Amino acid sequence: QALETAGPKYSTILGGLTGFSALVFVIAEFSWFFGYLGGMPQLSIRFMAIKDEKNAKLARNVGVGWTILAYIGALLIGWIGIAIFGPTGLTDQEAVMPSVMLTLFPPIIAAIFITGAVAAMLSTADSLLILSATELSENLLKPFVYKDDFDPKRSLKLSRISTVLLGVIALIAAYVVPSNLIYTIVGYTWAGIGDTFSVIVILTLFWKRFHGKAVPPTIITGLLFTIFWISSGFDAKVSARLMTFIVTSIVAILATYIIKPEEGA
């Protein structure tokens, strides 16, 4: 009854959209999928860490099972939140999960559920922090600043400092930057970097003809096209995440045929 009162915007999967608007919405949201095909480094390192085929199948089953439960749980929590608090009952809608848990369960049980969700978030955050710090210390400072005069202890110290600084910057951004802007930035990064590297990973794994010299034009095209598509306003009609994947795929294929690979590659 509460969902019926709230209206189709809250009670339907498509938020009350129908016809062409619903199709555009589905395509835009599905376009997040392309970044998962190898463009997320924090996920790629987990795939690389799988020991053998047996563990790969186990990882597949766990990953798919967890994803199904997570998305169904997100929908249920949202709908239960509407039933309890109403569509506008919470000043911060992102607090619906802990609010629902604390309402339905005793504090100890609610704390376990909330902590589990936070742990999943931290799992991604710490991977990104470590990757960012490694990129900064190993791929930027080491070859260009310290060159050959760079010992392992200094590298470790610099990585730790970079991790702390990036964590502090992210914490400040979480309080200062509006949440909708963070979502927008993540979406654009997903298109320009995630989709671009997904194309590279897919072609590297499944197309023997694809070679290293075709990678730079693919990366440059992905970044520039994302900026163009967003700044021109076309992203409001067709998602940049979808278009970047399509365009970079075409460029990668053309570059493979046009640019000659290195001898012996």
Q: Using the predicted structure, report yes or no on whether residue 162 has a pLDDT greater than 70.
A: yes
Residue 112 belongs to some domain of the structure: no
* Domain total of the chain: 1
Structural domain harbouring 223: 17-49+180-264
| pLDDT score recorded for residue 210 | 92
- CB 226, CB 177: distance < 8 Å: no
DSSP assigned state of 49: T
Residue 75 belongs to some domain of the structure: no
Q: Using the predicted structure, report yes or no on whether residue 265 has a pLDDT greater than 60.
A: no
- Identify which of 26-35, 136-145, 252-261 has the greatest average pLDDT: 252-261
SS3 helix, strand, coil % of the chain, rounded to 5?
80, 0, 20
**Mean pLDDT over all residues of the chain?**
84
Residue 202 belongs to some domain of the structure: yes
Residue 127 belongs to some domain of the structure: no
Residue 104 belongs to some domain of the structure: no
What residues contact residue 44 under an 8 Å CB cut-off, 6+ apart? 38, 201
> What's the mean pLDDT in 219-233?
91
Prediction pTM value: 0.74
Residue 26 belongs to some domain of the structure: yes
> What's the mean pLDDT in 64-90?
86
Residue 143 belongs to some domain of the structure: no
Q: CA nearest 258: which of 192, 222, 224, 210?
A: 210
| pLDDT score recorded for residue 200 | 94
What residues contact residue 45 under an 8 Å CB cut-off, 6+ apart? 127, 131
DSSP assigned state of 260: P
| pLDDT score recorded for residue 27 | 84
Buried b or exposed e, range 196-224, using 16+ CB within 10 angstroms: bbbbbebbbeeeeebbeebbebbbebbbe
User: Tens digits of per-residue pLDDT, 239-258?
Assistant: 888 999 999 999 999 999 99
